[in-house]
Amino acid sequence: MKVTAERLADSQVILNIEVDPQQVEASLERAYRRLAGRTAIPGFRRGKVPRPTLERFLGKDALWDEAIQQLVPEMYKEALQEQGIEPIAQPNIELPQRDPLLIRATVVVRPAVELGNYKELRMRPPEVEAKEEEVEAALEQIRHSQSPWVPIERAVQFGDRLTMEVVGRADGRAVINDKNQDYQPLAGWPYPVPGFAEEVVGLERGQEKKFTLSFPPNHSMTQLAGKTFEFRVKVIEVKEKQLLPLDDELAKAIGDFDSLEALRQKVTADLKARAAQEAQRRYEDEMVETVVAGAQMELPTVLIDEEVGRLIAEQREHLGRGQTRVEDYVETLKKTEEELKAELRPLAVQRVQRALVLDRVAELEKIEVSPQEVDQEIERMSSGGGEGAAQIRRLFSSPSGRRSLERMLFTRKTLQRLTEIASGQEEADQVENKYEEGTDE
């Protein structure tokens, strides 16, 4: 086998692989034996048919196709090892000639990334606190969640909870028919039809009302757009929230709190933890964006295209209402596939740049993730998981699950290393080490 490599733009390499005739013949012989073992030919036992007879029966191209299905991947793998090439996407393989066999593989490789002096990056770590008004708002939310609903004799207001009989007809048939429907009217609430909440406000217990409502013509659910519903509603019961006092008794009723002050401290700590987590995420984003801005790299088109595909898959999963085809999803969005891809391309570029820069930082900082670290993370995630612990272990113990977790830990450790540099912690550690070694000047 002879291999030559030609480097192109867009981080591509063309491998020209000339396969020795002896290797081709050996592959043809193995293909013959495989086909002979699974082909029934009258007058011959399986596996005993002569090769010329098999070729006449199946056609010579069948033997050739069977041979190259295994030969081409083998030769491609050997060529990669010989040239020291690590592809980052599936290759485009052509067979421009057959005698001698020539394999031409266009391979996309990881682009070279030249970082600026990221070691000089300095950013003040975020300082967070739980504001008093946020604590009070959280306590008030807890108070509302713990307070009971009580029946009341007055007209329905926004925010009440009511029980009602409701019949909704569209196109001459009953679409809604419920004799004991719980409902909470909220201003602007579009369920079940925009304007429904406003129609029931003002009704009293035992009162009945008929009204007609229509979905807007441009409604996102096309099957409902412009459709008119005729409603008949009868209020059975009206309830309002009877707020309990925010005191020690309420705190004790919630759980492991002996006073309102203890509950306040827990709420404050939780709010501060969430604020710190969000602030750290913004800090890391800004930090990586700064490193990306100082880096130079060539972005392979295939990486951007693959990232656009992943973004579409993510959106389809969360918003596509179960569509499995891209065509169905873009139809839901009322966009062409080309428009959607163009819209997502800038984000895809940003994500590819970020991944390449983090990989380069990790390479320079010699960051690795050991199998033991993956095991520890699986245990951490599953501990306290109750009935879901076994499912978590199964999910992340599979090869793909472990790779996903390893990648997550790899990114986390890289971001932690960048944080040490940007916050000045690395310099502080160096000074401390010098002092401990007695070499501080």
Digit-coded pLDDT (tens) for 134-159: 999 999 999 999 999 999 999 999 99
Residue 117 lies in a domain: no
| Burial class (CB within 10 angstroms; exposed 0-12, middle 13-18, buried 19+) of 127 | exposed
Residue 20 lies in a domain: yes
Show the domain range for 94: 2-109
| Banded pLDDT at 330 (limits 50, 70, 90) | low
**From CA 348, how far away is CA 305, in angstroms rounded?**
8
Decide if pLDDT at 20 tops 90: yes
Decide if pLDDT at 204 tops 50: yes
**From CA 155, how far away is CA 161, in angstroms rounded?**
12
**From CA 42, how far away is CA 52, in angstroms rounded?**
15
Identify the three-state secondary structure at position 33: helix
CA atoms within 13 A on the CB side of 174: 6
Q: Are residues 103 and 39 in the same domain?
A: yes
Decide if pLDDT at 435 tops 60: no
Residue 11 lies in a domain: yes
Decide if pLDDT at 207 tops 90: yes
Q: Are residues 312 and 355 in the same domain?
A: yes
Residue 34 is part of a domain; what is its CATH number?
Answer: 3.30.70.1050
Please tell me the total count of domains within the chain.
Answer: 4
**From CA 160, how far away is CA 180, in angstroms rounded?**
16
Q: Are residues 43 and 74 in the same domain?
A: yes
Task: With both helix axes pointing from N to C terminus, report the angle between 399-422 and 260-293 in degrees, rounded to the nearest 10.
Answer: 90
Residue-level pLDDT at 184: 95
Q: Are 107 and 13 in contact (CB under 8 A)?
A: yes
Residue-level pLDDT at 429: 56
Which is it for the CA torsion 310, 315, 321, 323, positive or negative? negative
Question: Which one of 364, 383, 406 terminates a domain?
Answer: 364
Q: Are residues 89 and 9 in the same domain?
A: yes
Q: Are residues 341 and 378 in the same domain?
A: no
Q: Are 111 and 300 in contact (CB under 8 A)?
A: yes
Residue written as token pair 């048939």: 173
Q: Are residues 30 and 59 in the same domain?
A: yes
Residue 313 lies in a domain: yes
Q: Which residue has the higher pLDDT, 429 or 178?
A: 178
Residue 120 lies in a domain: no
Residue-level pLDDT at 14: 94
Q: Are residues 104 and 9 in the same domain?
A: yes
Residue written as token pair 């394999």: 103
Q: Are residues 206 and 227 in the same domain?
A: yes
Q: Are residues 340 and 388 in the same domain?
A: no
Question: Which one of 313, 334, 364 terminates a domain?
Answer: 364
Q: Are residues 11 and 96 in the same domain?
A: yes
Task: With both helix axes pointing from N to C terminus, report the angle between 389-397 and 371-382 in degrees, rounded to the nearest 10.
Answer: 160
Question: Which one of 80, 109, 138 terminates a domain?
Answer: 109
Rg (Cα) of the chain, in Å, rounded? 33
Q: Are residues 398 and 322 in the same domain?
A: no
What distance lies between CA 358 and its chain's CA centroid?
Answer: 18
| Banded pLDDT at 320 (limits 50, 70, 90) | very low
Helices (H), 166-246: 196-200
348-369 confidence digits (pLDDT tens)? 999 999 999 999 999 999 999 9
Residue 127 lies in a domain: no
Residue 227 is part of a domain; what is its CATH number?
Answer: 3.10.50.40
Mean pLDDT, rounded, of the chain: 88
Q: Are residues 230 and 152 in the same domain?
A: yes
| Banded pLDDT at 336 (limits 50, 70, 90) | confident
Count of residues in the chain? 441
Decide if pLDDT at 434 tops 80: no
Residue 74 lies in a domain: yes
Residue 183 lies in a domain: yes
End-to-end CA distance of the chain: 61
